[in-house]
Structure 1
Amino acid sequence: MTPLGIGIIGCGVISDIYLQNAARFPQLSLRAVADLRPDAAQARAQDHGIDALTPDALLARDDIDIVVNLTVPAAHLEVGLAALRAGKHVYSEKPLAVSMAEGRQLADMAAARGLRIGCAPDTFLGGAHQTARALVDAGAIGRPVAGTATLMLAGHERWHPNPDFYYQGPGAGPLFDMGPYYITELVNLLGPVQQVSAMAARAHHSRIIATGPRAGQPVAVDAQTHVAGVLGFASGALVQIVTSFDVRAHMHSPLELYGTDGSLLIPDPNRFDGTVMLSGAEGWQPQPMTHAHGDDNHRGLGLADMAQAIADDRPHRASGDLALHVLDVIESLLEAARTGRTLPLSTDCARPDAVAPLTPAPEAA
């Protein structure tokens, strides 16, 4: 296929890996970057030999087919709508938006204009997670009936020089920040969620920045920083989920699935690699990696799949429908925690198509 032109808006911390990886995917041709901070855009552009523009100038470029929206979550709606109005497809960092109302605006405009929305995370397309998906689909654990999803950290102020948006305003907190990795992977493995229940708490009302020019400064905390819930899947499986910025240390694995015939340990869904463990007659056994992109940080894989899907006229896997459903799960968990009720989901989505295994695949364990 002829590569599609890519323009990136938002030159923060996450932009560097997208810029590095763009050259790895033949479906993509990186054209320009933009940021409201001209110095940030210029620094990224200089590092990668591309143009640094204003956001408006980038949207006006005829050689840009997909705008990659790497702004902070609160700006996802404004930047996404502007890109769609300019006739560009949009691929966004997670979450799709900070509310279902905003997410629906993006989905509705894209549908009205015949454009596509894609959204991170795309880690579920990585080798470890597609290996786990293949094992589930092959019946290796029988019928999945339950599971756990555990993200527990001490907080991003330890490493991020400007962590305010993790704790303040719409889209703040661990469920919005890290929950999309876990929920997206679970939808990849089990299909859509049907209902949720939850409780939530906040351990601290301020945090101290530990690094960068603002080290030692406090950051006010408005968000719920520990959310514990249960996801009821349409398939019948029940999965306990915890996302927290209030835990210093723990011994839980990131993802576990329990079936009628066995169990799976699944690696960190914020990564593409790791070892899948399957329980059997002889206890836990590591499983061979059966799929590609399990050896590195391949962020942008979902963007490349979206570009290829546009060329092939097929659905892309890290889709707007999937991201909107994940956003629905997040918003519903927080509302369930606020009201003390079990809530039905307002959206549905197709389970993303599985990725083909490597040929030839490694021998099964």
Structure 2
Amino acid sequence: MTKTKIGVIGTGSISDVYLSSPQKFLNYEIAGVADINVERAQEQAEKHQIPFSGSVSELLEKEDIELVVNLTIPAAHKEVSIKALQAGKHVYSEKPLATTCNDGLLVMEEARRLGLHVGTAPDTFLGAGLQTCRALLDQGVIGEPVGASAFMLGRGPESWHPNPEFFYKQGAGPLFDLGPYYLTALISLLGPVSQVASMNRVTVPEREITSEPFAGTKIKVEVPTYVSSLLQFSTGISASFITSFDVWDTKLPKIEIYGTKGTLLVPDPNEFNGPVYFMNNETTGWQEADLVSSYTDNCRGIGLADMLRGIKEGRPYLCSGDLGLHVLEVMEAILESSDKKRFLELETNCRRPERLTGFQYQD
């Protein structure tokens, strides 16, 4: 198999799992890594035995690199992605695609203008847990879906993250940081969203970092930290969706889907594994489903590998830029709906991703 050479821009904490991903996926290799901090890029290149490290501009000049993985902070996603496209590279971006829907549209329009491809994380919905849920829905195990609920409830990252300030700035918060996992999962299971309504608040306007090395530093909160929304899907299904950094603890499920014959308990959409439980009018209590694949460990990079396969075969890939743009508009509309105190119709659309099949994976 001919391996596509890719470059990685951004060497923060998420980069390790991407830089080690070629050990699992057979159709690409990492030919270079870059960062605004060139020394950090060099350290990661040495750690993962990558042949090139340097500045962003130096990486984009390398002709052998066909695709760039954008792992920069959210505020830089649009700028870096567009620069990569203008350098003739396909782009696979960490979530979100950009921090505003308009910026996301600019990325997608530039890709179309140049005849290039854009993919976007998260790819956790391609893991065994959520793919099993998709199979159960397709089999009609809970009948026709009629509704859903989703909860991302936690206390915020200032007690454990080494540099948590950006989580409370524009383009982050509980909705933009972890919401893409939940929304991508819901869209992969139920289809695109047609309209939203929301009520949001900033509970604590200033937070204090308690983790090192910035313990004692105050953070001015710029985004809502309790976001309570209602989603309607194009199929007519509705879902309650709450994300928060204001909750000390909870026993609520991550996601549940309710059908005419039963209920499906969906595992954490931030993970690739299960367990998956369901009950219906023919079972006695909850049943644990057998997982449909072996993709249960941290498989970040599987969406990239599928994208490269899709480009080569001329078929749609599952972690598409259109999906990422739709997720971005849903999140933006959730914030705007609260400000305007009314339902908002979505303008973007996307294909409901097919199930992942026929994929080569190396344990």
TM-score normalised per structure 2: 0.96
After superposition, where does 1:210-359 map in structure 2 within 5 Å?
210-280=210-280, 281-294=283-296, 296-356=297-357
- Alpha-carbon offset, residue 42 of structure 1: 1.4
d(CA) in 1 for partners of 2:228, 2:234: 20
1:156-198, Cα deviation, whole Å (9 max, x unpaired): 1122111111102x20211110000000000000010000000
- Alpha-carbon offset, residue 212 of structure 1: 2.4
Match of 1:362?
Answer: none
Matched-pair identity in %: 47
Match of 1:156?
Answer: 157
1:237-265, Cα deviation, whole Å (9 max, x unpaired): 11000010110101111010000011100
- Alpha-carbon offset, residue 357 of structure 1: 8.0
Match of 2:197?
Answer: 197
Determine if contact 1:4/1:29 at 8 Å carries over to the other structure.
yes
Partner of 2:69, secondary structure, is strand
1:241-294, Cα deviation, whole Å (9 max, x unpaired): 001011010111101000001110010000000111011330111000112312
d(CA) in 1 for partners of 2:225, 2:358: 38
d(CA) in 1 for partners of 2:338, 2:182: 18
Partner of 2:240, secondary structure, is strand
Greater Cα offset, 155-164 or 224-233? 155-164
1:131 partner letter: T
1:200-254, Cα deviation, whole Å (9 max, x unpaired): 0111112222222212211111111110101100111110000101101011110
Determine if contact 1:38/1:54 at 8 Å carries over to the other structure.
yes
Q: Quickly say closer, same or farther: Cα 1:345–1:105, change in 2 above 3 A.
A: same
d(CA) in 2 for partners of 1:159, 1:12: 16
Alpha-carbon RMSD across the aligned residues, in angstroms, is 1.1
d(CA) in 2 for partners of 1:191, 1:241: 15
Match of 2:141?
Answer: 140
d(CA) in 2 for partners of 1:285, 1:337: 38
Match of 2:8?
Answer: 8
d(CA) in 2 for partners of 1:357, 1:138: 19
d(CA) in 2 for partners of 1:17, 1:127: 18
Determine if contact 1:154/1:246 at 8 Å carries over to the other structure.
yes
d(CA) in 1 for partners of 2:224, 2:88: 37
2:293 partner letter: H
2:242 partner letter: V
2:285 partner letter: G
1:173 partner letter: G
d(CA) in 2 for partners of 1:272, 1:59: 31
Match of 1:171?
Answer: 171
Match of 2:30?
Answer: 30
1:61-119, Cα deviation, whole Å (9 max, x unpaired): 11111100000000001000000000000000000000011000000000111111000
d(CA) in 2 for partners of 1:291, 1:208: 42
Segments ≥4 residues shifted beyond 3 Å: none
Determine if contact 1:161/1:215 at 8 Å carries over to the other structure.
no
Match of 1:184?
Answer: 184
1:259 partner letter: G
After superposition, where does 1:10-89 map in structure 2 within 5 Å?
10-50=10-50, 51-89=52-90
1:207 partner letter: R
2:238 partner letter: L
1:287 partner letter: A
Match of 2:207?
Answer: 207
d(CA) in 2 for partners of 1:202, 1:130: 35
1:282 partner letter: T
- 2:139 is equivalent to residue 124 of structure 1: no
Partner of 2:20, secondary structure, is helix
Unaligned 5+ residue runs, structure 2?
none
Partner of 1:107, secondary structure, is helix
d(CA) in 1 for partners of 2:213, 2:231: 41
* Number of residue pairs matched by the alignment: 356
2:267 partner letter: P
d(CA) in 1 for partners of 2:31, 2:158: 33
- Alpha-carbon offset, residue 199 of structure 1: 0.4
Partner of 1:249, secondary structure, is coil
1:353 partner letter: E
- Alpha-carbon offset, residue 49 of structure 1: 1.1
Unaligned 5+ residue runs, structure 1?
359-365
2:252 partner letter: H
1:36 partner letter: I
Partner of 2:324, secondary structure, is helix
Partner of 1:18, secondary structure, is helix
